[in-house]
Chain A
Amino acid sequence: MATQNPPAKRIKREEYRRNVQAQQESTDGSVIKMPQKKFFRQRAHANPFSDHRLEYPISPAHMDWSSHYPAFVDPDASKTNLSGGCKLTKEVEVVDIGCGFGGLMVGLAPLMPDTLMVGMEIRISVLEYLSSRIHALRSQQQRLKNRAANPSSTEPQDASAQPESTDSTPAPVPANDDEIGTEKLFPGNFENITAIRSNTMKFLPNFFGHHQLSKIFICFPDPHFKARKHKARIISESLNSEYAFVLRPGGLLYTITDVEEYHHWVLRHFLHGEQPEGGATPAASSKDLFERVSEEELAADPCVRVMKYETEESKKVTRNKGNKYVAVFRRKADPEWPA
């Protein structure tokens, strides 16, 4: 079954991806089609310990976000970051670690149209898909808006779509993935989301400063089933210290997994276990920096709904009738210095 020459599948895939690239770069106003996932599949694991060939800023102050959020670039061109790029009018404050094909990003974008969000993914092909997808979504929204603003257009238009009030016309209900990519206007035009290739286990602090983030999402992380591989898990007490560094007090860290054992791992690494009566107080650790968010609060949080039902992985779990385990933690304030 293995062929000597590059398999036809790969040739087709490369050709497809070249076309997508060319389409994105063209500015002739042709309709940009949504990329198809099947041409961007990549094995679900990447070694977080190897160097890859990652690009990352020397420090958060060197990060040039302007190409990622063109709609949020500060009009004052004299304001530049340390690498000379244009500054934004606001800071990125939501991160999806291991964003995959970007279901969460796309689902959250209309929910928080004024909040800048970034998905971080270590796998090249998957990231390429998401970047194309965001690009296609933005241009589609633009086209829909133009059409609405131009009644002379030959195409019939949706009467409800008013040109000046894009924020109020679309249903406030969060986007359902099935509708995304259809002829519907969404608040924010997906200008507030982007995707970056990175290994957050090593380089998260290169992108975000102290207390910069309000939300971190870790959805369906690689479970690394073998005990030997547990060091590669994205949740650990030492990594939680880094999440605490970039997360502002009061900020939330969302986790969801379909692996029950991993869920317990998450709880174990964020919370002190039950202490035996009269036992020694637990040793100080990054667990002191987080507290679990109650179920009632989660029920009212639309982000949890998106995380549970809109991401690609969550849909797969639903299809396979698997379980979903959600745990959300709030960043507490740093402890007082010892006297």
Chain B
Amino acid sequence: MAGLQHPFHCLRYVNRQSAGQSDILIATAGRNLYSYNASSGQRLDVWPQPVDADAEDKSSDAAPADASESHGPPEKRRKLSSTSDEQKDAKPESKTKDSKKEASNSWTNIPLVTVAHGKYVVIMTSEDKCVRVLSLDNEGKLQQLSARTMPKKLSALTLTPDENNILSGDKFGDVYTFPLIPSGEYVKAQTPAKPYEPAATNLTVHTKRNLESLEQQMRQAALSKTNPAERVALNFEHQVIIGHVSLLTDLISVTRPADSTVGKRNYILTADRDEHIRVSRGVPQAHVIEQFCFGHTSFVSSLCVPSFQPKVLISGGGDNYLLVWDWLENQILQKVQLPGAEGETTVRGIWDVSLAPTADNADPVKAIFVALEGSSQLLYYTLESNNTITHQDTLQLSGNVLALTGIDSRGSILVAVDTLRESNSTSAWKSSSQPPLETFGLSSGRLAPVEDSMVIRINSEGTSSIPTPLEQKQQKELNDSMYNLGNLRKRDDPYDD
């Protein structure tokens, strides 16, 4: 493992023992999605498969030019040009499966991953704004089933409680829902092609300039009557269910179990850049807003409702504190100070893990982990019976914390660390990569690094390499794709109208 390698951006542990199958670890790094055998650490599949079927990841210098292009960070392309599509169609790779042929540089990273029913992986590929559903078979092989292009880049991706529908939140503040598996051919709602007609009339605009431009529009309308501009619409079954006039930052789906007064109820919690946390009913009543949780004074970036206590919400963002809520009542139960100054600390992620019992404590530990943007420390809290959290420890990792997943059955957590950048920096690069995963487990009440054969094998194999040397611009693009929460902060802009 030499040179620089992409760190893992997302991790998901897929528990499939109830289905009689072995567990799988899903991870993304660079533009690839990986599946690993969760006990041995054996890599089961990479998606998309390298364009050159024979080329292995390590032999990037020996690979032909187009293959190395797919390994390295490709140029940022926001739009798929039609010519590259045609080229792809013109020379199909005969050996690989159809689903694995993808335009090799339509995206550079996969920032969002979720898993449905233990056998479907839902991802968003970043630059092409595409939600892709892949099947995950018994052997851990990945095969793309569908690709749906969203109108805006997503900032959150999750599932409805029945795991049959995808929920997505985007940078425009809209939440969409659409079926996990598209049902048959989508027929666009037939809208009669209406000729373009200016909405303004000489009854509504009066100034000389406005009247002139209206006249121009009228002329334009007369010209374009034969060729009405086609409306840009999504070509798959979908519904917009919630909208914020703000940048949506996180979205979670919560089920509150039945209690003495009400039955089981589903909710959707959304957070935005304008300090709001909104509680809406679940689908199909997501248009009914039940509550707002007010208390943050900077953007909110992460929401976490622990599976072991669905009444509690832990939220964080651009404030240097976390808030613990009774979210249905808009009641702050606790304000938890974070290290770092106001205006500098940013919460990158909050995860709940139920750590399996060890010899000396009978109940699972209700652990809450918090990572800060560009920080190599991982904050470890436990949720108490009075619904507050207590700081237990601060774990020091070898690089910035990027992602975390719990491995309940082993009572341990798996942490993805930044392999490229120096600890506590979002821009200074290391000269050589380090292992991308670390693991911690409970031993006599404390979390300590543990040996895990899965992790050892994954680390030894590494991910895909980054060709060196890298231009400054490409470095910056990689940094920005990994650390972008700082952009959410409001600047004190003197401009104002």
Which residues of A line the B interface, CB within 8 A? 42-43, 46-49, 51-53, 58-62, 123-124, 201-203, 205-206, 210, 223, 225, 231, 236-242, 244-245, 258-262, 283-286, 288-289, 320-323, 334-335, 337-339
Q: Does B274 contact A (CB under 8 A)?
A: yes
Chain A residue with minimal CB distance to B229? A227
Contact A59 B281, beta carbon cutoff 8 Å? no
CA A205 – CA B289 in complex, angstroms?
11
- Contact partner of A59 (CB less than 8 A), chosen from B239, B246, B284, B295, is B295
Contact A58 B245, beta carbon cutoff 8 Å? no
Q: Does B262 contact A (CB under 8 A)?
A: yes
Assuming the contacts A260-B201, A261-B199, asked whether A244 and B289 have C-beta atoms less than 8 A apart, the reply is yes
Assuming the contacts A124-B496, A262-B199, asked whether A59 and B294 have C-beta atoms less than 8 A apart, the reply is yes
Q: Which of A46, A284, A289 has the most CB of B within 10 A?
A: A284
- Contact partner of B199 (CB less than 8 A), chosen from A123, A259, A285, is A259
Contact B172 A231, beta carbon cutoff 8 Å? yes
Contact B284 A283, beta carbon cutoff 8 Å? yes
Contact B497 A46, beta carbon cutoff 8 Å? yes
Give B280-309 interface residues, CB cut-off 8 Å to A.
280-281, 284-285, 287-289, 291-292, 294-295, 297
- Contact partner of A245 (CB less than 8 A), chosen from B200, B289, B497, is B289
Contact B206 A51, beta carbon cutoff 8 Å? no
Q: Which of B242, B275, B289 has the most CB of A within 10 A?
A: B289
CA A289 – CA B285 in complex, angstroms?
11
Contact B198 A225, beta carbon cutoff 8 Å? yes
Contact A51 B199, beta carbon cutoff 8 Å? no
Contact B203 A321, beta carbon cutoff 8 Å? yes
Chain A residue with minimal CB distance to B214? A225
Chain A residue with minimal CB distance to B246? A202
Contact A284 B285, beta carbon cutoff 8 Å? yes
> Number of A-B pairs whose CB atoms are under 8 Å?
105
Contact B245 A51, beta carbon cutoff 8 Å? no
* Nearest CB in chain B: distance from A38 CB, A: 16
* Nearest CB in chain B: distance from A233 CB, A: 11
Q: Determine the chain B residues whose CB is within 8 A of the CB of A236 once the complex forms.
A: 243
Q: Determine the chain A residues whose CB is within 8 A of the CB of B275 once the complex forms.
A: 58
Q: Determine the chain A residues whose CB is within 8 A of the CB of B243 once the complex forms.
A: 236-239, 241
Assuming the contacts A124-B496, A320-B203, A322-B203, asked whether A48 and B285 have C-beta atoms less than 8 A apart, the reply is no
Contact A338 B285, beta carbon cutoff 8 Å? yes
* Nearest CB in chain A: distance from B230 CB, A: 12
Which residues of B line the A interface, CB within 8 A? 172-174, 198-201, 203-204, 206, 239-240, 242-246, 262-263, 265, 274-276, 280-281, 284-285, 287-289, 291-292, 294-295, 297, 330, 490-493, 496-497
Contact A242 B199, beta carbon cutoff 8 Å? no
Contact B245 A49, beta carbon cutoff 8 Å? yes
Q: Determine the chain A residues whose CB is within 8 A of the CB of B200 once the complex forms.
A: 223, 225, 259
Assuming the contacts A225-B198, A238-B244, asked whether A259 and B204 have C-beta atoms less than 8 A apart, the reply is yes
CA A285 – CA B200 in complex, angstroms?
29
CA A192 – CA B274 in complex, angstroms?
30
Contact A58 B204, beta carbon cutoff 8 Å? no
CA A231 – CA B171 in complex, angstroms?
13
Chain A residue with minimal CB distance to B296? A58
* Nearest CB in chain B: distance from A149 CB, A: 44
Q: Determine the chain A residues whose CB is within 8 A of the CB of B276 once the complex forms.
A: 205
Contact B240 A238, beta carbon cutoff 8 Å? yes
User: What's the dominant secondary structure at chain A's contact region?
Assistant: loop
Q: Determine the chain B residues whose CB is within 8 A of the CB of A201 once the complex forms.
A: 245
Contact B492 A338, beta carbon cutoff 8 Å? no
Q: Determine the chain B residues whose CB is within 8 A of the CB of A259 once the complex forms.
A: 199-201, 204
* Nearest CB in chain A: distance from B202 CB, A: 9
Contact B288 A335, beta carbon cutoff 8 Å? yes
Contact A203 B203, beta carbon cutoff 8 Å? no
Q: Determine the chain B residues whose CB is within 8 A of the CB of A334 once the complex forms.
A: 288
* Nearest CB in chain A: distance from B292 CB, A: 5
* Nearest CB in chain B: distance from A314 CB, A: 13
CA A242 – CA B199 in complex, angstroms?
26
Contact B274 A203, beta carbon cutoff 8 Å? yes
CA A273 – CA B270 in complex, angstroms?
29
CA A240 – CA B241 in complex, angstroms?
12
* Nearest CB in chain A: distance from B130 CB, A: 22
- Contact partner of B287 (CB less than 8 A), chosen from A49, A123, A288, is A288
The 10 closest A-B pairs by CB, nearest first: A238-B243, A59-B294, A261-B199, A286-B287, A201-B245, A322-B203, A245-B289, A284-B284, A241-B287, A225-B199
Chain A residue with minimal CB distance to B497? A46
Contact A202 B289, beta carbon cutoff 8 Å? no
CA A316 – CA B276 in complex, angstroms?
38
| 5 A-B residue pairings within 8 Å (CB atoms) | A52-B496, A205-B292, A225-B199, A321-B203, A323-B203
Chain A residue with minimal CB distance to B272? A202
CA A128 – CA B188 in complex, angstroms?
49
* Nearest CB in chain A: distance from B479 CB, A: 24
* Nearest CB in chain B: distance from A51 CB, A: 5
* Nearest CB in chain B: distance from A270 CB, A: 12
Q: Determine the chain B residues whose CB is within 8 A of the CB of A289 once the complex forms.
A: 287-288
CA A293 – CA B68 in complex, angstroms?
66
